[in-house]
Amino acid sequence: VSTQSTGNWNWETAPFKLTPEYVDLMDGLHSSVFQYFKALVIRGFLETRKYSDRIVMLVEIAMQTGPPLPCLMGGERALADLKSRFHMDLTEDEFITHVDSLIFRSYDNWRTKRYDQYQYLTNYILP
């Protein structure tokens, strides 16, 4: 919901984790499988965007009635951040370009690699 990470450490700035190993499993960046993956991600984002009002409303209810969640600790700021992530100001084509850039920024992100290293060295958690 927000950009807050566990323990208030915001190491990972990639939109999501997309390692070279994941892409290798899809036969590489230029494969039809990866292109299908991209199409599904874009479609998922577009579908989520259609229901942005409902999603925001559910989060507002959770903020008012549920136990305090770390991702909602920012209050109105967290809610504004969530709303902005739907990019309702963009046309559908602009939004698709934006989602494609999220995929590109996620692939082999150096901060994700450093965070995975940190997790391994401190907690023996393999990426």
Provide Rg for the chain, Cα atoms. 17
* 93 CB-near residues (< 8 Å, 6+ apart): none
pTM over 0.75: yes
- pLDDT tens for the 127 residues of the chain, in order: 444 444 445 555 789 989 999 999 999 999 999 999 999 999 999 999 999 999 999 999 988 887 888 888 888 898 999 999 999 999 999 999 999 999 999 998 877 777 767 777 888 777 6
Q: Is 125 helix (H, G, I), strand (E, B) or coil?
A: coil
DSSP state string for 41-90? HHHHHHHHHHTHHHHHHHHHHHHHHS---GGGTTTHHHHHHHHHHT-TTS
